[in-house]
Structure 1
């Protein structure tokens, strides 16, 4: 493990802390077991009282829950018992704890974080609520909504090498340890690398840590997979907080990562990142992000949200612990909004980007909105999307010869309106009920075509029958149908029989 360390948070310190956490059951399952579903959910909403009551009689585990998850001051002797064999004085000297008038409080955010296969611990800085004021410029975030979104959007297929660019507290690398043989984590922030290194030691993981800006620490290297949660906040070129601000103007940070990332991938390697992009008056957002792409790169831009500039500024001010009503908050908001106005920014888009290095072929580039809520993680869908793109690239000239079927996870919704002849269908909407829940509105002919896709006849025969039955020219019908078929294949709503 690299020598970058928080003072005194060395291997021995982490070993003793791990022993205490294992002994008390301070892990994802243990915390939920003590709190119960209702109190755990309330704590996630920032409502601690139910959790405080539930943990009152939970012994040493209850002490750690109140100390690290509720931010409570706990009597020194209780903390000494809960953290044994780690000494309280050592924890204070290392910054894990801080003195309080009535005992000790958490000095760092230490919380369990789990997946379906187990649990880890993540070390980060205290947030503005825990500190009772704004965070410092080198603040290292805990596991927030953005981190969780990227975790769910990342493909987990086995890879040899993985780069976590801008690792922060290291949580992306923790999840990468499930499917990557070798992990490299970089960050421009020395404090982030210190905390990530402590997180990795605490969890017994061997991760290569490198410090530097963007891709400089891994120059001339390539990886099978790259994940990146960059400082993607858009606005004036300034750095108030390292975790969110790049010092680049507008959406240039996202553009930089998209432009440079494919060069650090092995052939067929995949990069996945969170990104933001400007919605500029008179410009299509898809045209903007497409211009960022280098050659020979498959790309899937999925826009999850578009924020109004005023709402965007207020959200990020509060995120840093600044009151938008304060003099400092208003001054920063004013400068931010002036920059948006000068650059004709109508909104800020946010979403996921999947990139793949593909040499010697015409790349597939798709930009689409995915605003609806969905429960399934996007990572498996991204991997499946790339597979389907490959199939279309290899079989695009043979679509008419292909036998298709509509998966059982796809259903058709009809909306009928009253008419002079009774009920008339006005909307035909195809739904995929798994994954991200894709939807497509169809006309009557497309609906009839899909009804015939039951794994028996090739597409060409179905189109011939459809044309004859509806009195349509077969050539024109085919020309109109093929783009729809390609889109439905990409979205997993129409499957070639050999893949079914």
Structure 2
């Protein structure tokens, strides 16, 4: 029987037991323990309620399944909902691993009167990133639906919105070495091992590393890449090494530094305000190989009298790297405090009010008017002599699909534009990206449109308003003629000097190329 170390209550993973469990999960019910099978068991109403973190309809659906002695219902009841289930029904779902094997892996314990209770969550996970679709099982601690009340401070978080956002946004170009900084339950490492020859995954939490090891073991031996797990804070475990890609969902939550406010390993890095994100932005270049990219999520403070773009741009300047920051969400201090008090599992009441008050006092002490959340993309340029990329923008709202390919395209476009002055750009053939559409709006009876919009179907779904001359040039960008020729032709049609049209159009074209709405082709 496996045992856990004194400070870690999750056993070391036995590869043979993990392999047996993997086979069981893949075959249960004939379709396997997969997202679609779980949703079919629950039904659309219960599945939708569960996505809203309301579990009663799902518990009822599982109870009906257990009445039918459905092994899949036992898996969902135990490892998604955190319910005590009949041991014999759960055992039928695990014919190879068995309940003893699942207990040895730290997943459950046998209860009285023929029951079994979960110790960890084990959820099916499906995703689409820039490599393509994937199906896995991810271990984590039981969430607050399954284990109501405040979470333990070494809680290992499962898959949430932040982790899926980062997974979708990461560049998936094949690389030699990749780093998952703050791996948690291991989901980013799962994605990385598909396109990196070597992956190092770090975490300050010993429990998290044990749970991540189970997640990775359930993926089985990988033909693509190996994963090495290391314990330590931020960049300390990889000091002196270099990586082609770094991804991180770090413990970025701004937390009051008070003894009555719990500090959770998965979200709190122990620093004041947004200093952890600043430290990581400024320091990650030390482990980036030339041409390497780092992508991370983070919070930053909007302080009264100090634009957030200036504060974060100063971090980028200190890093010495190319930097692109996209703010995806913005919360006022009260909403921010309420979010993280709820996240810790604290029910409404005087204790929750006290925690919210602590957050409000902490943010007010630094004149914080709002907190931004978003994506940071950093790159070590191959040419140290050229100016550094600086993009800081707000792009709220949903996106149509994985952003990783778009992020790679934008970085490549910015690299190309840096070496193309206007006269050189004029010699290049451009074409409209395949996801771009044009909208024209006119008043009833008007001969010409008053508004022309270019709408991006992928990426961040940008909508760009352009003038008549720019619309004419973009409409002719089919990769056949160079930009300069198109500008001259549109100028002639509008009966305007070509230099005036160029002065109006070319700067807009640069932005359209940088945002992925126009693509650069060959020279004339």
When the two chains are superposed, the root-mean-square deviation of aligned CA atoms in Å is: 2.6
TM-superposition CA deviations, 1:380-404 (whole Å, max 9, x none): 1001111111221233350122222
Aligned equivalent of 1:109: 121
TM-superposition CA deviations, 1:426-448 (whole Å, max 9, x none): 43211112332121111233223
Gap regions ≥5 residues in structure 2? none
1:83 to 88, 94, 102: 94
Is residue 176 of structure 1 aligned with residue 200 of structure 2?
Answer: no
How far residue 28 of structure 1 moved from its aligned partner, in angstroms, is: 3.7
Aligned equivalent of 1:364: 389
Q: For residue 270 of structure 2, give the secondary structure of its aligned residue in structure 1.
A: coil
1:461 to 485, 488, 497: 485
Q: For residue 263 of structure 1, give the secondary structure of its aligned residue in structure 2.
A: helix
1:215 to 235, 242, 245: 235
Aligned equivalent of 1:227: 247
Is residue 494 of structure 1 aligned with residue 518 of structure 2?
Answer: yes
Is residue 478 of structure 1 aligned with residue 502 of structure 2?
Answer: yes
How far residue 34 of structure 1 moved from its aligned partner, in angstroms, is: 4.1
Aligned equivalent of 2:107: 96
2:471 to 436, 447, 450: 447
Aligned equivalent of 1:138: 154
Is residue 72 of structure 1 aligned with residue 83 of structure 2?
Answer: yes
Aligned equivalent of 1:246: 269
Any conservation in 2 of the 1:52–1:70 contact (CA below 8 Å)?
no
Distance 1:65 1:370 in 2: 37
Aligned equivalent of 2:460: 436
Q: How does 1:134-213 map to 2 (within 5 A)?
A: 134-205=150-221, 206-213=226-233
Is residue 410 of structure 1 aligned with residue 436 of structure 2?
Answer: yes
TM-superposition CA deviations, 1:441-469 (whole Å, max 9, x none): 11233223323334343322333344454
Any conservation in 2 of the 1:376–1:436 contact (CA below 8 Å)?
no
Distance 1:82 1:458 in 2: 63
> How many residue pairs are counted as aligned between the two chains?
495
Distance 1:320 1:349 in 2: 20
Any conservation in 1 of the 2:294–2:378 contact (CA below 8 Å)?
yes
Q: For residue 117 of structure 2, give the secondary structure of its aligned residue in structure 1.
A: strand
Which stretch of the first structure deviates more once superposed, 170-179 or 78-87?
Answer: 78-87
Any conservation in 1 of the 2:53–2:145 contact (CA below 8 Å)?
no
Is residue 119 of structure 1 aligned with residue 135 of structure 2?
Answer: yes
Distance 1:432 1:117 in 2: 23
How far residue 339 of structure 1 moved from its aligned partner, in angstroms, is: 1.8
Any conservation in 1 of the 2:12–2:210 contact (CA below 8 Å)?
no
Distance 1:45 1:91 in 2: 29
Which stretch of the first structure deviates more once superposed, 346-355 or 450-459?
Answer: 450-459
Distance 2:395 2:89 in 1: 49
How far residue 175 of structure 1 moved from its aligned partner, in angstroms, is: 1.1
Which stretch of the first structure deviates more once superposed, 329-338 or 289-298?
Answer: 289-298
Distance 1:382 1:54 in 2: 46
Q: How does 1:394-405 map to 2 (within 5 A)?
A: 394-397=419-422, 398-405=424-431
Any conservation in 2 of the 1:235–1:251 contact (CA below 8 Å)?
no
Q: TM-score, normalised by structure 1?
A: 0.91
Aligned equivalent of 1:327: 350
Aligned equivalent of 1:345: 368
How far residue 409 of structure 1 moved from its aligned partner, in angstroms, is: 2.5
Change (3 A) 1:406 1:77: closer
Aligned equivalent of 1:380: 405
Distance 2:435 2:122 in 1: 41
TM-superposition CA deviations, 1:368-388 (whole Å, max 9, x none): 221132221111100111111
Is residue 27 of structure 1 aligned with residue 34 of structure 2?
Answer: yes
Gap regions ≥5 residues in structure 1? none
How far residue 295 of structure 1 moved from its aligned partner, in angstroms, is: 5.2
TM-superposition CA deviations, 1:279-314 (whole Å, max 9, x none): 122222222211112454222211111111111110
Distance 1:277 1:263 in 2: 22
Which stretch of the first structure deviates more once superposed, 52-61 or 379-388?
Answer: 52-61
Which stretch of the first structure deviates more once superposed, 86-95 or 440-449?
Answer: 86-95
Any conservation in 2 of the 1:224–1:266 contact (CA below 8 Å)?
yes
Is residue 300 of structure 1 aligned with residue 320 of structure 2?
Answer: no
Any conservation in 2 of the 1:138–1:241 contact (CA below 8 Å)?
yes
Change (3 A) 1:175 1:472: same
Any conservation in 1 of the 2:81–2:145 contact (CA below 8 Å)?
no
Change (3 A) 1:207 1:454: closer
Which stretch of the first structure deviates more once superposed, 110-119 or 32-41?
Answer: 32-41
How far residue 38 of structure 1 moved from its aligned partner, in angstroms, is: 5.5
TM-superposition CA deviations, 1:78-100 (whole Å, max 9, x none): 22333333343454465421455
Change (3 A) 1:235 1:475: farther
Distance 2:458 2:11 in 1: 48
TM-superposition CA deviations, 1:116-164 (whole Å, max 9, x none): 5442221110112211211010000011111111111111111111100
